[in-house]
Amino acid sequence: MNYDHEIRSLAAETLATQTILAQALFRLSQFDPGLKRAITEALNDAANIVEHVAIEAGAAAHPAHTVKALQIVEEIRTMVLGGGSKPKHAV
């Protein structure tokens, strides 16, 4: 098995999925202030879940994994809500 190829393929797939998700949420947020509020709350919930999972896992969770997960949530928040939105968590 070519692990480098697999890693690059997974990274490309992840990037594509994140971009599609962010753009779909962005377009939905433009339709209605209620949708934008719900999307903002969902992004907050996602950050809280990542924190909760990290706390539950304790020492078994690699700190870089948790930091990267929170960073991705915040990157998606920026893509959806713009750079002026206040991050839920500092990364």
- Distance (Å, rounded) from C-alpha 73 to C-alpha 37? 16
Yes or no: say if 88 and 34 are a contact pair by the CB < 8 Å rule: no
30-37 contacts, C-beta under 8 A, 24 or more apart:
36/81
Task: Kindly report, residue by residue over 79-89, the tens digit of the pLDDT.
Answer: 999 876 555 55
Residue type, 63: P
Task: Kindly report, residue by residue over 18-74, the tens digit of the pLDDT.
Answer: 999 999 999 999 999 999 999 999 999 999 999 898 888 877 777 788 889 999 999
